[in-house]
């Protein structure tokens, strides 16, 4: 077994092998609870996005706190969730090709697995797969609510596509996918509100047109960690699909609240734990977490607990932390190396979990899961998973 786990339950933080992806379980559990409470207060369902964690263990925790099910971005992720006991999975992305669609249709005989279409080709391919597997697959129609990525135009084009779904014997029209992804990281509340107001308007128009055509929407889904309060209060959306809130990446913390302060509804809960492995320059320490330990599409990670330190010049397996002008020098190299906690950026390159892969695993680095005691402990399933506890749906 060439890859050794970096920690075992009870191991002190200082002895965890690095680089390690670590979860602060206390912050993580507070984040879970905050989203569940916010949705309950607003009277909408939560269907958290599992692309953030790819772990059925975390999905079970979300369901135990009331989530109606979960979202996945890929069929392979959905397969792992169904195998891990999740009973209601929405693949919130267009799926093309018989191989993936056969898998989706077969899965839908084990649990509710909802497909997503924005094109007649998607409808006919999914219908054919469902027929091959003797399944009846729920389908949502994705509409373009402003991001102009995927999604058919709202209104009449969406209605025509929904009717095409409804005509298929092996499909069932289940509602709308109406996610405004670009708005999530708009920095000011004014920008986010303008984008989501437009999304709400486009979605409401389409929901009304569908209702007039005799096609009520069971699901009107969308929203992310950056905007979910707006969709929750809309009276139009009934399912929130936020995912990043459980770990709260560095980039979301750059969003501003209405009062201009940093967005702090959720806490950072996922970190990369690194060790200083070289310090031959007086103003610079080199840590063992580089390009292969982080995603850099939203910029470099931020050192935690080292005021004034900046992370720069990453290489494949190491990177430098130098000090900002006037900041104190990094602490000197300690006998076992100097541990450093770095906040990860969204998205992290996770791998799907399974029953045999109980830990949340980062890229090669493996991981440890930590609680407030600063000793590793296991992330375990809830003692009594409630399965997919669907609350009464609000039909729009």
Please count the other Cβ atoms lying within 10 Å of the Cβ belonging to residue 280. Answer: 8
Q: How far is the CB of 56 from a copy of itself (least distance, A)?
A: 10
**Residue 108 or 275 with smaller CB distance to a copy of itself:** 275
Yes or no: say if 221 and 239 are a contact pair by the CB < 8 Å rule.
yes
Site for a copy of itself, rule CB under 8 A: 2-4, 15, 17-18, 51, 73-74, 76, 79-80, 83, 93-100, 103, 118-119, 121, 144, 148-153, 181, 275-281, 284, 286, 288, 291-292, 295-297, 313-318, 320, 333, 335-337, 347, 349, 351-352, 354, 363-364
Q: How far is the CB of 333 from a copy of itself (least distance, A)?
A: 6
**Residue 74 or 193 with smaller CB distance to a copy of itself:** 74
How would you classify the pairing of strands 20-24 and 219-222? unpaired
**Residue 349 or 390 with smaller CB distance to a copy of itself:** 349
Q: How far is the CB of 286 from a copy of itself (least distance, A)?
A: 6
How would you classify the pairing of strands 302-304 and 339-343? antiparallel
Cα 248 to Cα 31: distance, rounded to the nearest angstrom:
8
Q: How far is the CB of 235 from a copy of itself (least distance, A)?
A: 27
Closest CA relative to residue 213, chosen from 166, 266, 144: 166
Closest CA relative to residue 342, chosen from 244, 232, 268: 268
Q: How far is the CB of 354 from a copy of itself (least distance, A)?
A: 6
**What is the token pair recorded at 365?**
């680095």
Q: How far is the CB of 230 from a copy of itself (least distance, A)?
A: 20
Q: How far is the CB of 302 from a copy of itself (least distance, A)?
A: 17
**Residue 148 or 325 with smaller CB distance to a copy of itself:** 148
How would you classify the pairing of strands 367-370 and 171-177? unpaired
Cα 315 to Cα 312: distance, rounded to the nearest angstrom:
9
Q: How far is the CB of 153 from a copy of itself (least distance, A)?
A: 7
Q: How far is the CB of 347 from a copy of itself (least distance, A)?
A: 5
260-225-46 Cα angle (round to 5): 135
**Residue 93 or 203 with smaller CB distance to a copy of itself:** 93
**What is the token pair recorded at 253?**
């913390």
Closest CA relative to residue 173, chosen from 133, 206, 200, 134: 206
**Residue 154 or 303 with smaller CB distance to a copy of itself:** 154
Yes or no: say if 353 and 57 are a contact pair by the CB < 8 Å rule.
yes
**Residue 64 or 293 with smaller CB distance to a copy of itself:** 293
Q: How far is the CB of 308 from a copy of itself (least distance, A)?
A: 20
Output DSSP code: residue 345: P
Closest CA relative to residue 339, chosen from 300, 361, 380, 368: 368
Strand partners, 88: 112
**Residue 1 or 212 with smaller CB distance to a copy of itself:** 1
Cα 135 to Cα 102: distance, rounded to the nearest angstrom:
10
Cα 209 to Cα 220: distance, rounded to the nearest angstrom:
14
- Runs of H (alpha helix) within 271-388: none
Yes or no: say if 391 and 384 are a contact pair by the CB < 8 Å rule.
no
Q: Terminus-to-terminus CA distance in the chain, angstroms?
A: 53
**Residue 18 or 227 with smaller CB distance to a copy of itself:** 18
**Residue 296 or 380 with smaller CB distance to a copy of itself:** 296
């Amino acid at each position: 077994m060439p890859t050794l786990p970096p920690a075992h339950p009870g191991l002190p933080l200082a002895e965890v092998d690095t680089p390690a992806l670590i979860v602060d379980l206390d912050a993580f559990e507070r984040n879970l609870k905050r989203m569940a409470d916010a949705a309950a207060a607003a009277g909408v369902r939560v269907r958290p996005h599992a692309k953030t964690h790819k772990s059925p263990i975390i999905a079970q925790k979300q369901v135990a706190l009331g989530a109606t099910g979960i979202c996945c971005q890929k069929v392979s992720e959905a397969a792992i969730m169904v195998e891990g006991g999740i009973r209601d999975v929405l693949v919130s992305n267009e799926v093309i090709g018989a191989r993936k669609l056969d898998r989706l249709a077969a899965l839908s005989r084990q649990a509710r697995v909802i497909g997503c279409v924005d094109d007649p080709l998607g409808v006919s391919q999914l219908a054919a797969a469902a027929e091959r597997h003797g399944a009846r697959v729920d389908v949502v129609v994705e509409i373009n609510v402003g991001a102009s990525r995927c999604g058919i135009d709202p209104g009449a084009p969406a209605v025509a596509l929904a009717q095409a779904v409804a005509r298929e014997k092996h499909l069932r029209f289940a509602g709308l996918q109406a996610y405004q992804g670009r708005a999530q990281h708009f920095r000011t509340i004014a920008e986010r509100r303008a984008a989501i107001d437009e999304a709400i308007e486009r979605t409401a128009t389409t929901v009304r047109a569908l209702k007039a055509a005799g096609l009520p929407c069971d699901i009107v889904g969308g929203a992310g960690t950056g905007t979910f309060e707006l969709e929750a209060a809309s009276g139009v959306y009934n399912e929130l699909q936020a995912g990043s809130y459980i770990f709260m990446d560095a980039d979301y913390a750059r969003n501003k609240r209405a009062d201009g302060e940093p967005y702090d509804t959720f806490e950072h809960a996922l970190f990369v734990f690194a060790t200083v492995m070289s310090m031959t320059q007086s103003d610079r320490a080199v840590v063992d977490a580089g390009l292969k330990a982080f995603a850099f599409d939203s910029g470099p990670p931020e050192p935690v607990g080292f005021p004034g330190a900046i992370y720069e010049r990453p290489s494949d397996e190491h990177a430098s932390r130098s000090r900002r002008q006037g900041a104190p020098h990094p602490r000197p190299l300690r006998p076992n190396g100097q541990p450093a906690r770095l906040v990860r950026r969204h998205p992290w390159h996770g791998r799907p979990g399974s029953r045999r892969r109980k830990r949340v695993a980062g890229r090669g680095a493996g991981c440890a899961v930590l609680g407030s005691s600063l000793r590793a402990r296991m992330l375990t399933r809830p003692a009594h998973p409630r399965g997919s506890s669907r609350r009464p749906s609000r039909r729009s």
